Amino acid sequence: MTLAITDLIKTFAQPGGGSLTVLDVPTFNIAAGEQVALIGQSGGGKTTLLHLIAGLLAPDSGSIKIDSIELTKLSEEGRDRVRASSVGYVFQTFNLLPAFTAIENVRLGMTFGHGKQDAKRATELLGRVGLADRANYKPSQLSVGQQQRVAIARALAGKPKLLLADEPTANVDPNSAENVLELIRQSCQDEQIALLMVTHSMDVANRFDRVEKLDEINRAFSNAASH
């Protein structure tokens, strides 16, 4: 999988009227299997960039190519299909389904992905994130760090080619953060999944193949930062 972004512009209507250009990114690429850390100031557009790459949002203009697929030419349903087959997402807020158990949440990641649920892989993934004994617990019965690990297992379940992780260690203590981070990096390495992770920690970022400072590659930065 390669990701190639060119001349990407994203503008949001503002609550008080008018609009704000949050992203104006001439170029941004990720090579197959590459691990890239994305840093930048709060409100600088990191989550917005991840949402655009995942196809959860559409840009005003520009190109987002995942391999040979031009995401910006697809309908919302088309983008959903690309995400299901190729892109895993670990959300800041996890987005687990509260009515389902840990193992069911992981299996749902497969339903969205390859259609068929692979019970063995779901069990393996929960084991890999250290939650073999919590398979039948619901999110409300899990700690925040455990919920986060379920979210990681779910994101890996569909065998993505690219994993997007939005500050996955923001809500856990430093020791757990270290473990979660290594878990994500190692899993991506083992499965040859490219990784784009938002982080506020330079210590974390420095372990990646590459560190991208959004404020430097985003021409809208001074614009966004002044708001």
Query: How far is Cα 112 from Cα 42, in angstroms, rounded to an integer?
Result: 31
Binds ligand ATP by CB under 6 A, chosen from 9, 11, 12, 178 = 12
Query: How far is Cα 154 from Cα 55, in angstroms, rounded to an integer?
Result: 18
* Rounded least distance, CB 205 to ligand ATP, Å: 13
Indicate whether 45 belongs to the interface with ligand ATP (CB under 6 A): yes
How many residues belong to the site for ligand ATP (CB under 6 A)?
A: 12
* Rounded least distance, CB 129 to ligand ATP, Å: 24
Q: Beta partners for 37?
A: 197, 211
Indicate whether 44 belongs to the interface with ligand ATP (CB under 6 A): yes
Measuring CA to CA, how many Å separate 165 from each of 23, 73, 102, 187?
19, 24, 19, 13
Query: How far is Cα 30 from Cα 28, in angstroms, rounded to an integer?
Result: 7
Give 164's DSSP letter.
E
Which region among 41-49, 103-111, 151-159, 182-190 touches ligand ATP (by CB under 6 A)?
Answer: 41-49
Indicate whether 59 belongs to the interface with ligand ATP (CB under 6 A): no
Q: Which residues of 114-128 are buried (b: 16+ CB within 10 A; e: fewer)?
A: eeebeeebbbebbeb
Q: Which CB sits closer to ligand ATP, 16 or 98?
A: 16
Indicate whether 55 belongs to the interface with ligand ATP (CB under 6 A): no
* Rounded least distance, CB 200 to ligand ATP, Å: 7
Indicate whether 42 belongs to the interface with ligand ATP (CB under 6 A): yes
At 5, the amino acid letter reads I
Binds ligand ATP by CB under 6 A, chosen from 34, 37, 46, 193 = 46
Measuring CA to CA, how many Å separate 29 from each of 90, 194, 213?
20, 11, 13
Binds ligand ATP by CB under 6 A, chosen from 22, 122, 155, 157 = 22
Binds ligand ATP by CB under 6 A, chosen from 26, 27, 43, 133 = 43
Residues 186-225 contacting ligand ATP, CB under 6 A: 224
Cβ(194)–Cβ(182) below 8 Å: no
Which region among 35-43, 74-82, 130-138, 155-163 touches ligand ATP (by CB under 6 A)?
Answer: 35-43
Please provide the DSSP assignment of 91-106 as one string: -TT----TTS-HHHHH
Which residues contact ligand ATP by CB under 6 A?
Answer: 12, 22, 40, 42-48, 224, 227
